[in-house]
Amino acid sequence: MVKKDVTLNRSLGLWSALALVVGTIIGSGVFVRQAAVLDDTGSVSMALLAWLAGGVMTLTAGLTIAEIAAQMPKTGGLYYYMDRMYGRIWGFLSGWMQIIVYGPSMIAALGAYLGILFVDFFGIDPALKVPIAVGTVVLVAILNFFSNRYGALFAIITTICKLVPIAGIIIFGLFFGKADAIGASVSSIHGTVGNFGVAILGTLFAFDGWILVANLGGEIKNPEKRLPQAIVLGILSVSVIYLLVSFAVFKSVDAQKVHQLGIGAIPYLANRSFGLIGGRILSIGIIISIIGCMNGKIMTFPRIMYAMARNKELPFSKQLSYLNPKTRTPIVSVIVTVTIAVIMIVFFNADRLSELCIFTVYCFYVMAFFGVFKLRRENPDLKRPFNVPLFPLTPIIAIGSSLFVLISEVMNDFGGVLVSLIIVAIGVPVFLFYRNRKDSVKDVVEND
């Protein structure tokens, strides 16, 4: 009797994919970055412009990647695109960076911030921050041991729940806010102002995650059509939400007060606007928002590890590429990803680790954006289910915007850039070792 191969379950529709895009993007960033973006720009109007710029940059990037995703709707997302457009080593390095540091650190950073919020909001022992963070990450990981339908349903539910506090903040700010800080400046109380590039980097943290749904290309129904729709509609929706939230904050809270409160600006607004009970409800909504974002990352990052293991490019590839026969999920890859994240929560500054990877992430983004031109030149007759609008202007803007981020990062965090490049460089001998072990046999997954 021939044993049937276990494959990923292609069961996710447009609403599931869209919820994953929105849910994975909207986490803690929009709630904690208001003061940081204000401080970096020095004025409210420039802070709002930074949020708008971050949205436009992300949208042009999403539109560009959507054309590639429609042609290559495979498991692994960016890892798979880089492999096919530039060769196996570039695919491996993009995946290596994501599974070793970037993905786990993003999960860990969300967990750590959730622990802080939880003890602050509910007045419990601060010593429980780490156990709460670790426990939440583990519980969300366990959810992702089951069929992807459950993770997708959880994404839909948490996305709806997180829109409640967001709607409350927007409605109160737009219609009842009296601070009217639009146009105000904080330059008198903050020495380092005018750093617009750093401010945009802060907004990009809040937009992070838009590309992760592409990692589920092998699990989305009609991915050639649904992937581009989910990416574009998701980014557009989040861009509008972020601008409205920022506008509402500065309509309700004085600019100097936002600066003084830091990451506590949104909780302060919630308590002042809706009272103790209303503030608690909004706080719970924010916590759910972070959990939903965490779920999206735990659901998607292990798919990169799984895809790389299927290509026999990692240690213990046989185990990492294992799919549970009943749930058809890569549970070993989920366990390994979450284990790394837990280690980061306990022993490292996860937020700083995630920031270190921004530079290399955007290096691979730039290469992927150039890949649109490469694919069109090398395969002019290849079917394109989705064409990036306003070509070539849109990918050019995406490339230019990303180069701006890279230059800003080099100028403002050169040490971090070197560390991120070292992390990627460590992957080179790993790639060469496993390529030699399998004698360069091509084993790219075609059916996922």
**Taking a C-beta distance cutoff of 8 angstroms, is the pair 350, 310 a contact?**
no
**Domains in the chain: ranges and CATH:** 14-437 (1.20.1740.10)
Q: Give me the DSSP letters along 271-333.
A: HHHHHHHHHHHHHHHHHHHHHHHHHHHHHHHHHHHHHHHHTT-STTHHHHT---TTT---HHH
Cα(98)–Cα(424) distance, rounded to whole angstroms?
A: 10
Cα(151)–Cα(149) distance, rounded to whole angstroms?
A: 6
What is the model's pLDDT at position 42?
80
What is the model's pLDDT at position 380?
81
Token pair in block for residue 239: 């861009």
**Within a 10 A sphere around the Cβ of 389, how many other Cβ atoms?**
12
Residues ≥6 apart with Cβ < 8 Å to 393: none
What is the model's pLDDT at position 183?
57
Low-confidence ranges of the chain (pLDDT < 70): 1-4, 28, 177-194, 263, 278, 437-448
What is the model's pLDDT at position 194?
47
Give the angle subtended at the CA of 112 by the CAs of 191 and 162, to the nearest 5°. 90
Q: Give me the DSSP letters along 155-173.
A: HHHHHHHHHHHHHHHHHHH
Cα(107)–Cα(290) distance, rounded to whole angstroms?
A: 10
Token pair in block for residue 394: 């849109």
Task: Write down the H helix ranges in 323-413.
Answer: 331-347, 350-356, 358-378, 393-412
Q: Which helix (H) or strand (E) holds 194?
A: none
Alpha carbons within 13 angstroms on the beta-carbon side of residue 269 total 37
Cα(97)–Cα(350) distance, rounded to whole angstroms?
A: 15
How much is the pTM? 0.87
